[in-house]
Structure 1
Amino acid sequence: MKTQLLRHALIPATLALSAPIAMAAPETYTLDPTHTAVEFKIDHFGFSAPSGKWMSIDGTLILDEEAPEESSVTLTIDIADVITGVPDLDAHLKTEDFFFVDEYPEATFTSTDVLLTGYATAKVTGDLTLRGVTKPVTLDVKLNKIGENMMGLKTAGFTATTTLTRSDFNMGTYAPGLADDVTLVIESEANLASE
């Protein structure tokens, strides 16, 4: 009798353990334009390293917390919205010497691979299209935090860095005096998209 009771108790437990574990589905996040910026810094003939930034950025992040290497991101940057704090420099950067925004007003980045390098770090490789040229670029990405923001939205915050070579994108004006390599830092918050 005790054996039969034990058998009947074990069957449901065994079935429960053998059932597939529900995995969290990848989630779609939208970049928050008020908390996202791309900053660039460049050596200016050895005298200083001035910077500028873009804040007109659209993007979508597909975040898979169970399998982060399956995550992906797409970005579109309004290159014509470059900000340096110096109006004459902003105007020059928009010309054919540099970004040539009349012909190429946007830059895009589409990830192609995510390689985890630590608990909250990864190398995200993708295709960057800038001034009509597409090149592979790798971002060093750090996940700063995932949680609920002050507005009650689930938010993921990231910092990403990389170095671009201007001449790769037909923007080698004044190189090498004005450095050919440019450092980029991306600070971004992305909010979970509503259903």
Structure 2
Amino acid sequence: MRRRLPLAALLLSATLAVPLVIAQAPPQVPGAPDKARVAAGSYAADPGHTMVVWEVDHFGFSKYSGIFGDVTGRLVIDPTNPAASKVDVAIPVAKVTTASSGLTDHLLRPGKDGGKPDFFGAAPADAKFVSTRVLVDKDGDEAKVTGNLTLNGVTKSVTLDVEFHGAGTNPFNKKATVGFDAETTIRRSDFGISYGIPMVSDEVELTIHAAFEKE
């Protein structure tokens, strides 16, 4: 015959189990899409967590992507006047990454017999983006950021569709951090890169994931 525990013992057991359940609750990520968390000031790009993903159409069969990483630069932002925000970043084209070593070499190889390279060449200058205007939507979490993009020695005005991703404090270095996602499409022929058009699309879709840490 099974012995029944007294009611007091059952209540005590349940009470002792509560702290264990609380202790096992999953941790919360430090960033959140809360504009109130954004502190005014100057922020440096986090090169380890900022990237520009490019995508082209290859022969009409498939999409092909690559990444520019190690982005450096600065963001100046004031939550009370987001339209006055400014961003100035450099993207090291020479560090382009693709899924194919052969294609990466093709992007960076010099022109044959001293001629013009097919794409960037062996020692391309950093691309740069410097904002000139910021138009923020009424909710304050999306914006159109227009600026001058310099690529392959050519400067053109480009507008980014930007969305606020999140803000908070980095738990490792204790720095206030803000993050954004952005998209735009450019024509590479506008920047003097016309190799393979139209077999490889002239239109290049850019997706940007950017994190900035307060200086």
> Is the TM value for this pair above 0.5?
yes
Q: Which has the larger radius of gyration?
A: 2
The amino acid across from 1:173 in the alignment is Y
Q: RMSD across aligned C-alpha pairs, in angstroms?
A: 1.5
Is 1:78 paired with 2:98?
no
The amino acid across from 2:192 in the alignment is N
1:1-195 mapped onto 2 (5 Å cutoff): 26-95=40-109, 96-102=117-123, 104-119=124-139, 120-151=141-172, 152-193=174-215
- Three-state SS of the structure 1 residue aligned to 2:47 is strand
Measured against aligned partners, the alpha-carbon deviations of 1:103-147 in whole angstroms (never above 9, x if no partner) come to x32111100000112420000000000000000000000111122
Residues 68 and 97, structure 2, Cα contact 8 Å, conserved in 1: yes
**How far apart, CA to CA, are the structure 1 residues paired with 2:138 and 2:194?**
35
**How far apart, CA to CA, are the structure 2 residues paired with 1:30 and 1:131?**
24
**How far apart, CA to CA, are the structure 2 residues paired with 1:86 and 1:54?**
14
**How far apart, CA to CA, are the structure 2 residues paired with 1:41 and 1:115?**
26
Structure 2 regions of 5+ residues with no counterpart? Answer: 1-37, 110-116
The amino acid across from 1:112 in the alignment is T
Aligned CA distance change for structure 1 residues 118 and 39 (closer, same or farther; 3 Å): farther
- Three-state SS of the structure 1 residue aligned to 2:202 is strand
Aligned length: 169
Residues 39 and 176, structure 2, Cα contact 8 Å, conserved in 1: no
Structure 1 regions of 5+ residues with no counterpart? Answer: 1-23
Structure with a larger share of its residues in strand: 1
